[in-house]
Structure 1
Amino acid sequence: MRPIGREAWVPRRLPGNVRRFRVDYPRRGLQGPLRWAPSWRQLLGLALLGLGALAALVGYVYSTVHVTDVNATARAEANVYYWADGTQMVSVGPVNRQNVPLSDIPASLQNAVIATENATFYTDPGFSVRGLARAVVNMARGQEVQSGSTITQQYVKNTYLTPEQTLDRKLRELCLSVKLSRSLSKQEILQGYLNTSWFGRNAYGVQAAAVAYYGMDAKDLDPARSALLAALLKGGELYDPSLSEAHHRRAEARWRYVLDRQVELGYLSKAERATYTVFPEPRPESVSTSLSGQTGYLVDVANKYIKNRTGLTTEELGRGGYRIRTTFDKAEVERLRGTVEEVTRESLDPARRIADREVQIGAASIRPGDGAILALYGGSDATEHFTNNADTAGVPVGSAFKPFVLAAALQHGVRSDGVVARGLPVTSGSFYDATGALTSGRAPRLLPERAGVGAGGFRSGEAGAPSGLPTLRQALVRGDNGVYSRLGEDVGLEKVRDMAVGSGLLPLSMASLEPSFSVGTSTPSAIRMAGAYATFAADGQQSDPYSVTAVSHLGTPLEGLDRPSSRQVLDPEVAREVSGALRDVAVDAMAPDAIRALSPVAAGRTSEEDRLPASWFVGYTDRLSTAVTVFRSRPGTDGLLPLNGVGGNESGRADFLPLRVWSSYMTTASRAAE
């Protein structure tokens, strides 16, 4: 019987003095189970063979992985849009992430994360031997290959690898962590980790998390709030305190541990720790990453403006990483939305009246003298009604176009074939006499008693037009298409068009130069109408509407977004006279009490003579110029549907809808500004 410890490999004599080794297994000379028990030499050989294979595998993986192989998700960054006051409006993109430099991440947050996630971060080689051993044990047990990784390993997992847990992925993670530690500084790794980690609430990175939980930038976090964000790295779905009482208990316990752990490691003194005893309750989840409601329309207008001014393509903008500061006033947007919804709820009954179905409303509000778009209403919901009613074409403007005809007449006079009696210039008091000649009437006088305005001082009457012939001012109030159609011909339709375009309407929205041109066959948007009327409010200074004040990409500001410059497009006296005539329109359209609340106000509107499938009301104060349009359209069909019977109004015009929206919105906006 051979001893147990004899040689495991026995040489045999072969012909030609050649030796051949064979493995003595099952082992000869032994009986029973001992034949199958490997010797220590065999065990050692197998161990060395396994270690060699593992070393070869690690070497191969190490040589094949590259630090530059960043996965697409880790590169993805949202475009973030901000309200005019700098607060975040919406984050748009496949991943809600906004990368920030480490200098914008407070030391309190950096320390909290290191203390709880990887206390040896600044000294380890990028991986944890203990964690690696745990992963091997888990693999041997058939469990998931995971462990408590270092910050470097977690950054690698976030940035360079796909999420599945396999041995190959774990080896790649280890090798990449070592390579990364050799090629990047610890500060760079920490910055990358904090910008790629998930914090719950669909927030990736500390900047998105700070906004999602506290509505502030990461740089403004204090140690208490920093401790909660560090706690969330354990699992946002488990530690978001707003989800349930159990979540709140877990979050608070973890928060206290984060603070205590910092004391233990010397990042916080006991005295400073003692000042943080009240749990920093985060706000309810409210940061929008959705384009529903009005948000999609606001983003649409901002994107169009950016592309027009900077040359960015849709594809480039869609890659993300842009910070976009808009002119939109959150309170005004909400006020306008609420007004439209209240008016439609009170005025329309689509369940009972077919005419009340498919009614569309568009509105925009602009700051005169500046051109900043403060608010708009594009439709009921940007995710359901995709056309932006505030920025759409194809809706004829009707008599609301006539102020541009009057302005052209006041600015340029009439053609040489027209006659102005006694050589006097055209005024808003001019009228066509019985012979068809444009005659200058006496200067308009104030008749506040007639308008019921009292001391408001609005012009509400004219003196001297014989035989009841309407002056240009009166024809504007009454919506007399015949007078303005003829006036446009006498001034010259080209001059009228140039006046409208010079005031701010787009050339592409202008209709063909036919006799009906002067009475509103053109189709400008509500944004452009509000901007053009703002030119009258600004004494003839025209400013193009703008919706974005600044854009940066990866910290670099984009050029071409300076505020549009203003230019004088008509004489101040002309603008003031047009405004005076438009104040009469406002007096005629609205109750005296409303006029007093908004004084002074000037407005234009469509009239019953227009007979167009749209209704407008456009007006301004010294603070806001707002345009509202109402029309009917059905998806999948061309053209507009008639307005007959909308709201139960048998006149066929439904003029009351834009007037109600305009007056209600402007009144509440005026009160809010006081």
Structure 2
Amino acid sequence: MGRTDKPQAKKRGIRRLFTWKKLLGTFFTVCLLAVGGLCAVYFMVPVPTANAEATMQSNIYKYSNGKILARTGEINREIVGLDKIPLPVQQAFVAAENKTFYTDHGVDIKGTTRAAWNTLTGKAKQGGSTITQQYVKNYFLSQDQTATRKLKEMVIAVKVDQEMSKPEILAGYINTSYYGRSAYGIQAAARSYYGTDASRLTTAQGAYLASLLQAPNQYDWTSASATGRGLVEERWNYVLDNMVEMGWLPAAERAGLKFPAPKAPKPLPGMEGQTGYIVEAANQELMRQGVSEEDIKAGGWTITLNIDEQKQKDLVAAVDEQMEEKLDRKGDKKDATVQAGATSVDPKTGGVVAMYGGVGATEHWMSNATRRDYQPASTFKPIVLASAVDNMAMTQDGREIGLDTVYDGTSKRPVVGSEIPFAPENEDDRSYGPVTVQRATNSSINSVYAQMIVDVGPAKAKKTALALGMKDGQDFGATPAMSLGTMGASTLDMAGAYATLDNHGKKVTPTLVKAAEHRDRQVDTVRQSGEQAVSRKAADTVTQAMRGVVQDGSGFRAAGDYQAAGKTGTSENNRSAWFVGYTPELVTAVALFGEDTSGKIAEQVTLTDTVDPGRRANGGGVPAKIWGAYTERALDGGSDAEFDLETEGGSGGGGGAEPTGTRSPTASEEPSEEPTREPTTPPATTTAPPTTPPTTATTPPPPTETATTPPPVTEEPTQEPTTTATVQPPDTEVPDPENTGGSQNGLPATRGTQQPR
């Protein structure tokens, strides 16, 4: 019986402690305390005056030497009354953000509780769920996502809902919200996105502007990624469907609405020349570091850049001298399509010391320095070589790949060992026979690098590219065609990748912002990791190979009183031309892009008959000249610094057989880089590269000084010809060895023009 009595006694004790009356009393006590607490908070929290954002400060951008580059931050806002905003546009904002706006009391308890809980638990940060709460946040409070601010927002929203009418709240919300493009308020947004007043906005346009508020930067149609465009179009449809559901838009009218793509943005005053490009690139870098776009636009920042004032002037002067002064942009439609971009980086610190975004931010807003919608072409080939050495890759017959490895340079030679057929054509369909990797790099022989990337493995080559700092984006497929640079890349990307090679394989991340300080906080800027992206042997081998390009190959115009390594590149249909190179002290990527902006949508076009009248543009031409002119200035005329290389084999010279089956260029001809298309149907048979290096025909016979007709020479002379032998007329078209891109994924190159992304 004792065993039975004890548990029963225990139960009775627990019941005495937790009776339903006590539990109910505790519940009501907690509720009363909560209500009392809320009442206390309600009376203790006043409706404040307008926050600091309502009287924004300027941001100050400085050169690395402390001199001010720009001041920004003047409010681009014009308050308009609700009577100036069409009713359907007003309703679009309500449909987008808060369908119960006209009936709620300023807060959505369920939504706000969920948002507060997610914030406290770290799941996600969410803003106010009602229009009244968002208006309170915009006008009275900060953008911080904290529990304290959230509670204040709720209390003030209730009070504001009692003190202001719904039209007043809606007008305040629409006029204080940030829409991107430095536009605060619907009037500024209407002008920025559609070039019209808010009073003339259509229902479709109003629905787009209402959709923007969720993510202004991501949803700007003209600069959004494919994903961003898909998301904003989805939200636009969501807004219109809600309007139909609420009875504000007839279903028949909604069915006839088409997405209203906005016009391209125009910069604010004071952003002329290169300033606008640099400021925007700095802002984008800060956002990648966690600073919100709204926070930057709110002002109060002092941002010191790595931009060297003198080098920036040197870069602009080099572009003007080598290109702009020779173009007739206003009188020649072809000249007007030429766009130049460049980025220069210190390989020791990663600092972006100079940047050229285009003719001027007020004339061409999209920065040619940071855009990624053009192919880097054959400037990607050194990355394939770096991957080969870093992975100790072997040829199909088991030879380790290095500068002295011999490949078959036959044009249209089908690659061996790939499931994806690929047989790229060399420049002018020239076949070179057995050539060393060094010679193949100097002359940019497509067939050699197509086989090399198969030997390495396209997936491994892509992994190396990403490790060096290139970005994984559209068209970056791990296929043999990748060897010809068929992905998109910016001059900033390529400068970073080459800076890592210059730095003996230690990762260099280009950084524009040196320091960013606000009155109450400081942002941690990008720090160099110091990790080894590729082995020193791989990086130094590539440097040695590219020294040959400058000394004896297609990049000879970049040579000067300094040691230099570099690579030329020309993309499909001559739409872009590149020279990316470096000295021990400076890395610079220069590119030309063909872009026709005369229509509604910018279109990629050929550079042929532009910078070189009657001829193709190529990386060894104007880009190499700009690079050389800038580097000479930036290094004060020259430098004694030398590459400290740990390499095996390779001399930087020619090293290879003459092209076979076609005429060799005469001594008067310039190096060339014409991109060539792949065959539409690759040959079915394959031929493996030679199993042993040839013992003859690896170098061309030396020319005789008494010849009356120029002897055959390698495709790329080491310097401008000075021979007195018979020469070709000066306007002979310059072929050029860079391809690229032909196609992607091993398919024929049949793409049409592309739109900037």
Aligned to 2:678: none
Q: Give the direction of change, closer, same or farther, for the CA distance of 1:571–1:615 in structure 2 (3 Å limit).
A: same
Task: Provide the rounded CA distance (Å) in 2 between the counterparts of 1:431 and 1:539.
Answer: 25
Task: Provide the rounded CA distance (Å) in 2 between the counterparts of 1:615 and 1:592.
Answer: 15
Task: Provide the rounded CA distance (Å) in 1 between the counterparts of 2:49 and 2:448.
Answer: 72
Given that residues 443 and 554 in structure 2 are in contact (C-alpha distance below 8 angstroms), is that contact kept between their aligned partners in structure 1? no
Given that residues 409 and 445 in structure 2 are in contact (C-alpha distance below 8 angstroms), is that contact kept between their aligned partners in structure 1? no
Task: Provide the rounded CA distance (Å) in 2 between the counterparts of 1:528 and 1:307.
Answer: 18
Q: Give the direction of change, closer, same or farther, for the CA distance of 1:570–1:71 in structure 2 (3 Å limit).
A: closer
Matched, 1:532 2:507: no
Task: Provide the rounded CA distance (Å) in 2 between the counterparts of 1:646 and 1:467.
Answer: 30
Query: Which AA in structure 1 matches 2:525?
Result: L
Counterpart selection for 2:322 from 323, 336, 343? 343
- SS state at 2:435 partner: coil
- SS state at 1:647 partner: coil
Aligned to 1:604: 567
Task: Provide the rounded CA distance (Å) in 1 between the counterparts of 2:377 and 2:589.
Answer: 13
Sequence identity, in percent?
30
Query: Which AA in structure 1 matches 2:439?
Result: Q
Matched, 1:522 2:522: no
Matched, 1:356 2:338: no
Task: Provide the rounded CA distance (Å) in 1 between the counterparts of 2:384 and 2:65.
Answer: 38
Q: Give the direction of change, closer, same or farther, for the CA distance of 1:531–1:520 in structure 2 (3 Å limit).
A: same
Task: Provide the rounded CA distance (Å) in 1 between the counterparts of 2:588 and 2:560.
Answer: 18
- The Cα of 1:332 is off from its aligned counterpart by 1.1
Given that residues 420 and 438 in structure 1 are in contact (C-alpha distance below 8 angstroms), is that contact kept between their aligned partners in structure 2? no
Given that residues 350 and 357 in structure 1 are in contact (C-alpha distance below 8 angstroms), is that contact kept between their aligned partners in structure 2? yes
Aligned to 1:82: 62
Q: Give the direction of change, closer, same or farther, for the CA distance of 1:518–1:67 in structure 2 (3 Å limit).
A: closer
Task: Provide the rounded CA distance (Å) in 2 between the counterparts of 1:570 and 1:548.
Answer: 26
Given that residues 418 and 437 in structure 1 are in contact (C-alpha distance below 8 angstroms), is that contact kept between their aligned partners in structure 2? no
Query: Which AA in structure 1 matches 2:609?
Result: G
- The Cα of 1:348 is off from its aligned counterpart by 2.3
Matched, 1:585 2:565: no
Aligned to 2:274: 294
Counterpart selection for 1:373 from 315, 330, 352? 352
Aligned to 1:259: none
Query: Which AA in structure 1 matches 2:355?
Result: L
Given that residues 418 and 438 in structure 1 are in contact (C-alpha distance below 8 angstroms), is that contact kept between their aligned partners in structure 2? no
Aligned to 1:541: 506
Aligned to 2:471: 506
Q: Give the direction of change, closer, same or farther, for the CA distance of 1:67–1:398 in structure 2 (3 Å limit).
A: closer
Task: Provide the rounded CA distance (Å) in 2 between the counterparts of 1:350 and 1:494.
Answer: 43
Query: Which AA in structure 1 matches 2:376?
Result: V
Instruction: Give CA deviations for 1:272-309 in whole Å, capped at 9, x if unaligned.
Output: xxxxxxxxxxxxxxxx9811111111111111111101
Given that residues 531 and 545 in structure 1 are in contact (C-alpha distance below 8 angstroms), is that contact kept between their aligned partners in structure 2? yes
Task: Provide the rounded CA distance (Å) in 1 between the counterparts of 2:47 and 2:478.
Answer: 64
Q: Give the direction of change, closer, same or farther, for the CA distance of 1:659–1:507 in structure 2 (3 Å limit).
A: same
Given that residues 305 and 515 in structure 2 are in contact (C-alpha distance below 8 angstroms), is that contact kept between their aligned partners in structure 1? yes
Aligned to 1:644: 608
Matched, 1:576 2:506: no
Matched, 1:615 2:593: no
Aligned to 1:307: 287
TM-score scaled by structure 2?
A: 0.47
Given that residues 83 and 326 in structure 1 are in contact (C-alpha distance below 8 angstroms), is that contact kept between their aligned partners in structure 2? yes
Counterpart selection for 2:403 from 421, 425, 428? 428
Aligned to 1:395: 374
More helix by share: 1
Q: Give the direction of change, closer, same or farther, for the CA distance of 1:470–1:374 in structure 2 (3 Å limit).
A: same
Task: Provide the rounded CA distance (Å) in 2 between the counterparts of 1:650 and 1:509.
Answer: 33
Aligned to 2:397: 419
Query: Which AA in structure 1 matches 2:337?
Result: E
Given that residues 396 and 612 in structure 1 are in contact (C-alpha distance below 8 angstroms), is that contact kept between their aligned partners in structure 2? no
Counterpart selection for 1:471 from 436, 439, 450? 436
Task: Provide the rounded CA distance (Å) in 2 between the counterparts of 1:554 and 1:340.
Answer: 38
Equivalent residue runs for 1:238-257 within 5 Å: none
Task: Provide the rounded CA distance (Å) in 2 between the counterparts of 1:355 and 1:434.
Answer: 35
Task: Provide the rounded CA distance (Å) in 1 between the counterparts of 2:364 and 2:602.
Answer: 16
Task: Provide the rounded CA distance (Å) in 1 between the counterparts of 2:500 and 2:361.
Answer: 30
Given that residues 374 and 593 in structure 2 are in contact (C-alpha distance below 8 angstroms), is that contact kept between their aligned partners in structure 1? yes
Q: Give the direction of change, closer, same or farther, for the CA distance of 1:490–1:604 in structure 2 (3 Å limit).
A: same
Counterpart selection for 1:632 from 573, 588, 594? 594
Matched, 1:410 2:385: no
Task: Provide the rounded CA distance (Å) in 1 between the counterparts of 2:603 and 2:333.
Answer: 18
Task: Provide the rounded CA distance (Å) in 1 between the counterparts of 2:346 and 2:474.
Answer: 22
Query: Which AA in structure 1 matches 2:393?
Result: V
Equivalent residue runs for 1:163-312 within 5 Å: 290-309=270-289, 311-312=290-291
Equivalent residue pairs, number: 384
Task: Provide the rounded CA distance (Å) in 2 between the counterparts of 1:426 and 1:390.
Answer: 34
- The Cα of 1:83 is off from its aligned counterpart by 1.1
- SS state at 2:473 partner: helix
Task: Provide the rounded CA distance (Å) in 1 between the counterparts of 2:483 and 2:298.
Answer: 45
Q: Give the direction of change, closer, same or farther, for the CA distance of 1:294–1:338 in structure 2 (3 Å limit).
A: same
Task: Provide the rounded CA distance (Å) in 1 between the counterparts of 2:637 and 2:63.
Answer: 18
Question: Based on CA coordinates, which of the two structures has the bigger radius of gyration?
Answer: 1
- The Cα of 1:491 is off from its aligned counterpart by 0.8
- The Cα of 1:357 is off from its aligned counterpart by 2.0
- SS state at 1:532 partner: helix
Q: Give the direction of change, closer, same or farther, for the CA distance of 1:596–1:547 in structure 2 (3 Å limit).
A: closer
Task: Provide the rounded CA distance (Å) in 1 between the counterparts of 2:536 and 2:437.
Answer: 19
Query: Which AA in structure 1 matches 2:456?
Result: V
- The Cα of 1:355 is off from its aligned counterpart by 2.6
Instruction: Give CA deviations for 1:94-137 in whole Å, capped at 9, x if unaligned.
Output: 179xxxxxxxxxxxxxxxxxxxxxxxxxxxxxxxxxxxxxxxxx
TM-score scaled by structure 1?
A: 0.53
Task: Provide the rounded CA distance (Å) in 1 between the counterparts of 2:499 and 2:624.
Answer: 18
Task: Provide the rounded CA distance (Å) in 2 between the counterparts of 1:572 and 1:306.
Answer: 31
Given that residues 322 and 551 in structure 1 are in contact (C-alpha distance below 8 angstroms), is that contact kept between their aligned partners in structure 2? yes
Q: Give the direction of change, closer, same or farther, for the CA distance of 1:617–1:509 in structure 2 (3 Å limit).
A: farther
Query: Which AA in structure 2 matches 1:77?
Result: Q
Query: Which AA in structure 2 matches 1:426?
Result: I
- The Cα of 1:492 is off from its aligned counterpart by 0.5
- The Cα of 1:468 is off from its aligned counterpart by 5.1
Instruction: Give CA deviations for 1:236-269 in whole Å, capped at 9, x if unaligned.
Output: xxxxxxxxxxxxxxxxxxxxxxxxxxxxxxxxxx
Aligned to 1:227: none
Task: Provide the rounded CA distance (Å) in 2 between the counterparts of 1:667 and 1:589.
Answer: 20
Structure 2, unaligned stretches of length 5 or more? 1-45, 77-267, 417-430, 640-757
- SS state at 1:507 partner: coil
Task: Provide the rounded CA distance (Å) in 1 between the counterparts of 2:512 and 2:505.
Answer: 21
Counterpart selection for 2:446 from 459, 481, 488? 481
Aligned to 1:319: 298
Q: Give the direction of change, closer, same or farther, for the CA distance of 1:477–1:610 in structure 2 (3 Å limit).
A: farther
Given that residues 59 and 302 in structure 2 are in contact (C-alpha distance below 8 angstroms), is that contact kept between their aligned partners in structure 1? yes
- SS state at 1:566 partner: coil
Task: Provide the rounded CA distance (Å) in 2 between the counterparts of 1:570 and 1:438.
Answer: 26
Given that residues 611 and 653 in structure 1 are in contact (C-alpha distance below 8 angstroms), is that contact kept between their aligned partners in structure 2? no
Given that residues 559 and 628 in structure 2 are in contact (C-alpha distance below 8 angstroms), is that contact kept between their aligned partners in structure 1? no
- SS state at 1:302 partner: helix
Task: Provide the rounded CA distance (Å) in 2 between the counterparts of 1:316 and 1:470.
Answer: 57
Aligned to 1:175: none
Instruction: Give CA deviations for 1:383-436 in whole Å, capped at 9, x if unaligned.
Output: 221101000011111111100011111111336x82224xxx221111225999
Task: Provide the rounded CA distance (Å) in 1 between the counterparts of 2:432 and 2:565.
Answer: 28
Aligned to 1:217: none
Given that residues 549 and 555 in structure 2 are in contact (C-alpha distance below 8 angstroms), is that contact kept between their aligned partners in structure 1? no
